[in-house]
Amino acid sequence: MDKNQIIGIVLIGAILIAYSIFTRPTEEQIQELKRKRDSIEKLEYKKSQDVEKLAKLKQNANSLEKENLRKLNDTLLKKEFGSFASAVNGEKDFFIIENNLLKIKISNVGGKVYSVELKNYHTYKSSPLILFDGDSTIFGLDFFSENKNISTDKLHFKCNSDKKIINAEYDEKSISMRLYANENSYIEYLYSLKPDSYVLDFKMNLINMDNLIAKNITNLTLNWNIFSPHQEKGKEWENNQTTIYYKHFQDAVDYLSETSDTEEERVNTKLKWVAFKQQFFSSVLVADNYFSSGFLKHNKLENSEEHLKYFTTKLNFPYFPDEKNQNMDMKFYFLPNHLSTLESFNLGLESLIPLGWGIFGWMNEYFIIPIFNFLESFISNYGLIIFILTIFIKLILFPFTYKSYLSTAKMKVLKPEIDKINKKISKNKTMERQQATMNLYRKAGVNPMGGCLPMLLQMPILFAMFRFFPASIELRQESFLWADDLSSYDSIFSLPFEIPFYGDHVSLFTLLMAVSLVLTTKMNSGQTDNSQMPGMKNMMYLMPVMMLFFFNGYAAGLSYYYFLSNIVTFFQMLIIKRYVDEGKILKQLEANKKKPVKKSKFQKRLEEMAKQKSNTKNKKRK
């Protein structure tokens, strides 16, 4: 650097030093600044202390408010639920008891059976088959305690088991759920399940409840309400098979109408059991002794896709106010509607399967089902079983079919002579016509009812089959050819719209049944004289059309059976027609006319009555 630069730097440094000396605060100023800083720090500290105190005050106020609210809530709960107030609030928890057939979920809320799964079955959508499920399930006692109406359904029970899942195959087989009023007084639900069983034992124990339940009560009410789920393929048919059944104590089984939208019944007599019956499965509550009375109701759920009906029951059972400890022993049956399974309990549960009334039910129980079970024991294909069953039944009925055809052939041979009688005797003389016709039948040895009686004898089997196939759980989800479920309708084509009384699908088995019925009708019409009733022929051909609409939504197994039956009948008629000679029949009838005819007392009385009636008419005309 040159001389001038060095002088400049020295001057700048001197100026800065002089400035710092002259601007430095005095000792008094420094002390004043220190006093101000100390004052500010004290104010900040005091402010922080005040904030902490305020926070503590707020916290204490909140705690006091919560405590006051808790005490208020406890007071209100005590006022509404009395000794059971402590059971109102709590965490929901579930316990499972199961075996190889059932999986039963029990909730601590209400201590109730929350849901039931049948392990060996599935819905038509291949989902686990749940008989009922959800918080909407109601199961609990209603009674008066300390002038309060108590319902146990929403109260919290305590479970005696630490295990959440109990398998009855190798664990302990029972779960105890207790609703405490105090340390010594409680209601206990004891559930027990055995291996390989559809039966859940249920014991309701009332321990030291005599001082809590009103003394004027002689009956306790048990509420059991569920939503019945949609399980099967044909929803409409399933809905029409879903209802409440109940058995009177030591008496018959009855049920609510399946097809009504709402149905209810108040039973003022003793009941043995109540069943929520679905198409193929049932949930049944059976009293070891009896229920003293009950109220039963179902509502059809039109707008629900998941459920069919809502079941409501109120079951009363005796209560003795002077007894310290009481119990009510019951059993739940969660099971398929399988005939031999239901019969094994000897409780009348087989009535849950609608096999038909009177002779139709007997025909199913003692004839059709034994044959079906026999074939099932060594044939696994149910389509083949139905085929063999059809052949067997048609062979048994063949003598009746032959007699019917033979009688019809005799009537056909006599038709020319009957026409002569009708021409000879005017229409106004009805009694004379009938008498002359009956004389002709008697001389020829022909029974005009001979063609009808064999057909009437076949009717019980036809109607029995109508009830058998839709109710047979053996056919459930069993496929054959294009049908994926023989217990429900088969469909080869889904329509983009719904046809009234027909549906939104096309059932091929129903079509085949209708066509086969047309064939048998056409063959029979050649043997039948319809000249007296011209409209009968049209009616015979209208029947297949009616059945086409009627059976389109029915079980495919039923349409398949009727189709096979019609085809077998068609070939039987062909064979009979080949071997029955109408010329020989005519000769035999002519020979019968020459034989003396013995009139029975009944025939003589009919003739005398006809003559008296005719004479009376003639006198009136004169």
Instruction: Give the distance, in angstroms, between the CA of residue 302 and the centroid of all CA atoms in the same chain.
Output: 15
pLDDT of residue 434: 67
The DSSP call for residue 296 is E
Cβ within 8 Å of residue 258, ≥6 positions away: 239, 240, 241, 242, 243
Report the DSSP pairing between strands 128-132 and 113-122: antiparallel
For residue 590, is pLDDT > 90?
A: no
| Domain spans, the chain | 85-353, 369-594
Which pLDDT score, from 0 to 100, does residue 545 have? 82
Q: What values do phi and psi take at 239, rounded to 5?
A: -65, -35
Domain 85-353 has CATH 2.70.98.90: yes
More confident residue, 454 or 306: 306
Q: pLDDT (tens digit, 9 = 90+) per residue, 513-569?
A: 988 888 887 776 655 554 444 545 566 667 778 888 888 888 899 999 999 988 998
d(CA 504, CA 64): 67
**Each residue's pLDDT tens digit, 42-65:** 666 666 776 677 677 667 656 655
Mean pLDDT of 282-287: 94
| DSSP secondary structure string for all residues of 338-386 | -HHHHHTTTSSGGGGS---STHHHHHIIIIIHHHHHHHHTT---HHHHH
Number of neighbouring beta carbons within 10 Å of residue 147: 7
Does residue 39 register a pLDDT over 80?
no
For residue 131, how many other CB atoms are within 10 A of its CB?
23
In the three-class reduction of DSSP (H, G, I as helix; E, B as strand; rest coil), residue 191 is classed as: strand
Distance (Å, whole) CA 411 – CA 403: 12
Confidence of residue 591 (pLDDT cuts 50, 70, 90): low
* CB-CB contact of 448 with 434 (8 Å): no
| Residue with tokens 């019968």, as numbered in its chain | 592
Q: What 8-state DSSP symbol labels residue 599?
A: P
Question: Across residues 79-87, what is the average pLDDT?
Answer: 77
According to the model, what pLDDT value does residue 533 have?
Answer: 47
Residue that wins the pLDDT comparison between 597 and 15: 15
Count other C-beta atoms under 10 Å from residue 242's C-beta.
23
pLDDT score at 589 = 56
Which tokens is 425 given? 């005797």
Q: Residue 60 class from Cβ within 10 Å (0-12 exposed, 13-18 middle, 19+ buried)? A: exposed
Query: Residues of the chain with pLDDT > 90: what percent?
Result: 30
Identify the band that residue 230 occupies on the pLDDT scale cut at 50, 70 and 90: very high
pLDDT in the model for residue 582: 57
In three state form, how does the secondary structure of 545-598 look?
A: HHHHHHCCCCCHHHHHHHHHHHHHHHHHHHHHHHHCCHHHHHHHHHHHHHCCCC
Q: What is the largest CA-CA distance in the chain?
A: 178
CA distance 163 to 30: 77
Instruction: Average the pLDDT over each of 209-218, 267-276, 406-415, 498-507 and give the range with the smallest value.
Output: 406-415
For residues 357-374, average pLDDT: 86
Instruction: Of 347, 366, 363, 273, give the one whose Cα is nearest residue 317.
Output: 273
The string of pLDDT tens digits covering residues 178-216 is 999 888 889 999 999 998 899 999 999 999 888 888 888
Mean pLDDT of all residues belonging to the chain:
80
Query: Is 0.95 surpassed by the pTM of this model?
Result: no
pLDDT at 609 over 60: yes
pLDDT tens-digit readout, 383-404: 999 999 999 988 888 887 777 7
Residue 15 region, left (φ>0) first, then alpha (ψ -120 to 50), else beta? alpha
How would residue 332 be classed by pLDDT, with cut points 50, 70 and 90?
very high
